[in-house]
Structure 1
Amino acid sequence: MNQRIYRLTLLAMLITIAVVGRLAMQYIPSVQPVTAIIIISGYLLGPSAGIIIGVATVYLTNLSLGMGIWTIWQMIAWGSIGLFAGIIGRFQWKKEKKILIIFSFFAAYYYGLILNSSMFVYTDKFIPFLLSSLPFDTYHAIGNVIFVSILYPILKKALKRTNNKLQ
């Protein structure tokens, strides 16, 4: 029972860090640590943790930033990024930080693709949204690379200590 409470508390703390990071960085378009935190957490804690952190972060931040038709698509995008990161984490990598940096770069464009696909559902237009979002997706990708580079060693050390306590 204590392990479940400990894991739930850990997830709540990671969600809180992601929420605070997104709200603090909201004035810089498409640059926030959320994707990096989801990727690192999913990679180190597993697919379910990545999904939970992704979906909960969207819900909690959008309570402040505004809910809309995009909310469910953001949940799908960030939740699936957490899932994919968790699947990548199931394998042994020699240069895991490099793998996560590459994944985080492409995850930004994947996130943009999901959100642009949602606009196709509602407006029947895709290419204009895709083209207009490319600069913002690029900012997101560059931000992801920076945040993963900075946060991965810190979170890996903290979560390694935590995983030892969980086992």
Structure 2
Amino acid sequence: MTSVIPNVQPITAILLIVTLNIGVAPAMIIGSLSIMITNFYLGMGIWTIAQILAFAIIILLTGLLSKLPRKFLLVEVVLGFVMSLLYGLLVSAMLAPFFGIKQFWPYYLAGLSFDVMHGIGTAVFYVLLKKPLVKMFQRYQKIEKSE
């Protein structure tokens, strides 16, 4: 997805909301398809695999953390920010060898501002999207149960 602000898009927030409210499997499907479709549009490369794997790891970790009590929205927003930073770290770690990067930490730190933008964007999108998406999921589950 393209955005006016680099590395700010709603997909990470959506995947976390889906994981916490519907489950890991639907989030994996949505995450993989969104990366594939986006990269068909923007350009496919070795980074596609890294992005899919990074989202898979984040979804699995979020699935494990979903067992913990979630009383406050702030906890989920902080989770979104941290998972966004982890996503950037994972993608960088997977791609560095393919780009011949010998010094990982300077490479990673050079792009950290993009990861922070991703984290802030995820936090904002999480706050904006949680309520409508959860309401939509609940409505769908009611329709599914009545059929």
TM-score (norm 1): 0.79
- Residue identity opposite 2:107 in structure 1: F
Instruction: Point out which structure has higher relative CO (alpha carbons under 8 A, 6+ apart).
Output: 2
Q: Say whether 1:135 aligns with 2:96.
A: no
Cα pair 1:108 1:140 within 8 Å, conserved: yes
CA positional deviation for 1:129: 1.8
Aligned twin of 1:117: 93
Aligned twin of 2:28: 51
Any unmatched runs of 5+ in structure 2? none
Cα pair 1:33 1:143 within 8 Å, conserved: yes
Q: 1:46 to 1:90 in 2, by over 3 A?
A: farther
Aligned pair count?
A: 143
Counterparts of 1:35 and 1:89, CA distance in 2: 16
Q: Which of 59, 63, 69 does residue 86 from structure 1 map onto?
A: 63
> 3-state DSSP class of the match of 1:118?
helix
Any unmatched runs of 5+ in structure 1? 1-21
Q: Say whether 1:75 aligns with 2:35.
A: no
Counterparts of 2:138 and 2:75, CA distance in 1: 18
Counterparts of 1:102 and 1:157, CA distance in 2: 22
Q: Which of 110, 124, 127 does residue 146 from structure 1 map onto?
A: 124
Counterparts of 2:112 and 2:43, CA distance in 1: 23
Identity of aligned residues (%): 33
Q: 1:161 to 1:92 in 2, by over 3 A?
A: farther
- Residue identity opposite 1:28 in structure 2: I
CA positional deviation for 1:46: 0.3
